[in-house]
Amino acid sequence: MKKFIETLKNIWRIEDLRTRLLITALFVAIYRFGSYIVLPGIDASKLSELQDQTSGGLMALLDMFSGGAFSNASVFALGIMPYISASIVIQLLTIAVPYFQKLQREGESGRRKMNQYTRYLTVVILFLQGPSYLINLGVQLQQAGSALPGGFWYSASSTLILAGGSMFVMWLGERITDKGVGNGISFIILIGIISRFPQAIIREFASRMTDNGGGGLIMFLLEIIVLLLVIGAAILLVQGTRKIPVQYAKRVVGNKQYGGVRQYIPLKVNAANVMPIIFAQAIMFIPAAVMQYGSNTDSSVMMSFLAGRGFLYNVIFALLIIAFTYFYTAITVNSTMMAEEMKRNNGFIPGIKPGKKTAEYIDEVMSRITLPGSIFLALVAILPAFAHLLGINQSFAQFFGGTSLLILVGVVLDTLQQIESHLLMRHYDGLLKSGRIKGRSGSIAAY
């Protein structure tokens, strides 16, 4: 406790870090306030059907990422997800389209152009998602005995408000990155996830206390212990690496000697982070949406599939995550480029010939460590379904794994790593006695 208080004092002594933390808190407060500003013409008391719709399945994930703005019919209802979707599309285009590959190699100027294209694509996605959200909102309001104001001008103005709100959230994220602590986009998603936790844990506690057959306080404490163990497993998954030794040959230039040292290439066990889960959830949403229009949607198998539960759903979901983990790792870890860079700097892996053999060796190592990493990622992703089967409240079960847990762990580690860097630069102790905090990467990851 004394160490913790001293660390807080050290953080407050650093003027730049103190200013960044206060700015981050201010922008987060603005974001949370905006999440409760309801769209014009909407009766906030009639949103019960929309909130029920977002209590499970994919809708619950969207609502969690938006910090409840989706179910509140807020001006921030579309949240940051359109920007993330656009970022994923642009990232995939850098693999398939030569023009984007060229931009990626142009350094800072290319990155600025790609960010500009990402924003343009985000606006396009927003103008597609806005009307869809309003149509769904109208259906839910009608079921609750209310109605959405009609007319083209209302739909157009509300779509503009939703698009503007989402772009403002993106702007807040960029300002947090520039003026605050951590990656702003990731931090906004983190705040959305954390904002649901107090209500979820209170509901679970109340449920255990009122249900005579639920195990009471002992069962609730056991759930907390299991949750902490799952968080520990997620930290291992985020931080896990396999190091490859690289020897740099000696070379003499004039009177100076270069090289002759051994370094290590850290290859991540989970190089794809949460992207395979996001891709798999997007794919699983397609058959779920189609099934809703089928003739046999009342069957138990169909209902469990639509709700994101059941054996069939989770088996397919896990297999897709494993497949996408290999796919995303293959497109993000360029072994050929790594081998060429190593050869250019007179580096080599002991016992492996430089060039093509080195690239093949790196591919082989990545394949070996990606298999257990992908299986572990799939298990973490489907843990909420097991938690729900064991009687845990749906809102609380979402914290036992899946995208929300991995994003929460990854962003917290990255943010703490940046705070620790500020402390070490000013010659203060780090946050941990056992060593430095390791994030998802050497720099703050995007999400």
pLDDT in tens, 122-158: 999 999 888 888 888 888 888 777 778 878 888 899 9
Confidence band (pLDDT; 50, 70, 90) for 214?
low
Quick check: is 7 in a domain? no
What does the block give as tokens for 2? Answer: 């004394």
| CA distance linking residue 129 with residue 353, whole number of Å | 52
Can you give the pLDDT at residue 428? Answer: 66
> Please, are residues 95 and 331 in contact by the beta-carbon 8 Å criterion?
yes
C-alpha dihedral (178, 26, 273, 83), degrees to nearest 10: -70
Distance CA 83, CA 95 (A): 19
**Which of 24-33, 206-215, 382-391 tops mean pLDDT?**
24-33
Confidence of residue 168 (pLDDT cuts 50, 70, 90): very high
Residue 26 is predicted with a pLDDT of 93
pLDDT for 424 equals 79
Higher local confidence (pLDDT), 303 or 316: 316
Rounded Cα distance, 325 and 63, in Å: 25
Q: Does 292 lie in the same domain as 235? A: yes
Residue 74 per-residue DSSP state: B
d(CA 402, CA 425): 35
Backbone angles phi, psi at 104, to 5 degrees: -65, -30
Do 177 and 215 reside in the same domain of the chain?
Answer: no
For residue 103, give every residue at least 6 positions away whose Cβ sits within 8 Å of its Cβ, in sequence order, or none. 94, 110, 111, 113, 114
State which residues form the domain around 148: 16-181
Residues 92 and 154 in one domain: yes
Task: Please tell me what DSSP assigns to residue 75.
Answer: T
170 with 260, same domain: the answer is no
Non-local CB neighbours of 295 within 8 Å, separated by 6+ positions: none
> Is the Cβ–Cβ distance between 377 and 156 less than 8 Å?
no
Higher pLDDT, 10 or 171: 171
What's the pLDDT score for residue 444? Answer: 35
Domain contains 5: no
The answer to the question of residue 188 being in a domain is no
Instruction: Tokens for 400, please give them.
Output: 């036992």
What are the beta bridge partners of residue 268?
241
Q: If pLDDT is split at 50, 70 and 90, which confidence band does 443 have?
A: very low
Looking at the fold, whether 158 and 243 belong to one and the same domain comes out as no
CA distance 394 to 67: 16
* Contact predicate 246/262, CB 8 Å: yes
HSE-up of residue 54 (Cα within 13 Å, Cβ side):
23
- Predicted local distance difference test score (pLDDT) of residue 258: 52
Asked whether residue 446 carries a pLDDT value surpassing 90, the answer given is no
Indicate if 262 and 362 belong to the same structural domain.
Answer: yes
Q: pLDDT for 219-250, tens place per residue?
A: 888 888 988 888 888 888 877 787 888 877 66
Q: Are residues 34 and 153 in the same domain?
A: yes
Last-in-domain residue among 181, 213, 246: 181
CB 304 within 8 A of CB 313: yes
User: What is the average pLDDT score of the chain?
Assistant: 79
Assess if residue 71 is contained within a domain. Answer: yes
Whether residue 143 is found in the same domain as residue 238: no
CB 275 within 8 A of CB 446: no
Do 218 and 167 fall into the same domain? no
Question: Is 161 within a domain?
Answer: yes
The CATH number given to whatever domain includes residue 138 is: 1.10.3370.10
* Residue 58 scores a pLDDT above 90: no
Identify which of 275, 284, 379, 402 has the alpha carbon closest to the alpha carbon of residue 329: 275
In a domain, 416, yes or no: yes
Answer with the one of 151, 181, 211 that is the final residue of a domain: 181
In the predicted model, is pLDDT for residue 79 greater than 60? yes
Does the pLDDT value for residue 192 go beyond 50? yes
**What three-state secondary structure class fits 243?**
strand
| 263 three-class SS | strand
> Are residue 364 and residue 420 in the same domain, yes or no?
yes
Tokens of 93: 């285009």
Domain tally for the chain? 2
> Taking Cα atoms as reference points, which of 61, 156, 446, 115 lies closest to residue 272?
446
pLDDT tier at 251 (50, 70, 90 boundaries)?
Answer: low
Q: Which one of 137, 152, 181 terminates a domain?
A: 181
* Phi and psi at residue 209, to the nearest 5°: -75, -30
Q: pLDDT at residue 112 above 60?
A: yes
pLDDT above 90: residue 38:
no
Whether residue 350 sits in one domain with residue 437: yes
Please report the pLDDT score of residue 387 as a whole number: 82
Structure tokens at 431: 């946050």
User: Mean of the pLDDT values across residues 362-375?
Assistant: 87
| pLDDT single digits (tens) 387-427 | 877 778 777 888 887 777 887 888 888 888 888 887 777 76
- Position with higher pLDDT, 281 vs 418: 418
Q: Which two tokens stand for residue 343?
A: 């050869």
Under the banding of pLDDT at 50, 70 and 90, the label for residue 301 is low
Residue type, 244: I
The answer to whether residue 185 scores a pLDDT higher than 60 is yes
pLDDT of 123: 92
Q: What is the DSSP string of 160-182?
A: HHHHHHHHHHHHHHHHHHHHSSS
Is the CB of residue 20 less than 8 Å from the CB of residue 178?
no
Residue with tokens 């729900």: 388
Q: Is residue 335 part of a domain?
A: yes
Q: Which pLDDT value is given to residue 329?
A: 84
Question: Average pLDDT in the 28-37 region?
Answer: 90
pLDDT digits (tens, 9 = 90+) for 86-101: 887 887 788 778 888 8
Residues 362 and 396 in one domain: yes
**Is 90 exceeded by the pLDDT of residue 160?**
yes
**Regarding predicted confidence, which is higher, 295 or 23?**
23
Q: Tell me, what's the pLDDT at 110?
A: 83
Query: Residue 167: its pLDDT value, please?
Result: 92
Select, from the ranges 47-61, 77-91, 281-295, the one with the highest average predicted confidence (pLDDT). 77-91
Mean pLDDT calculated for residue range 20-40: 90
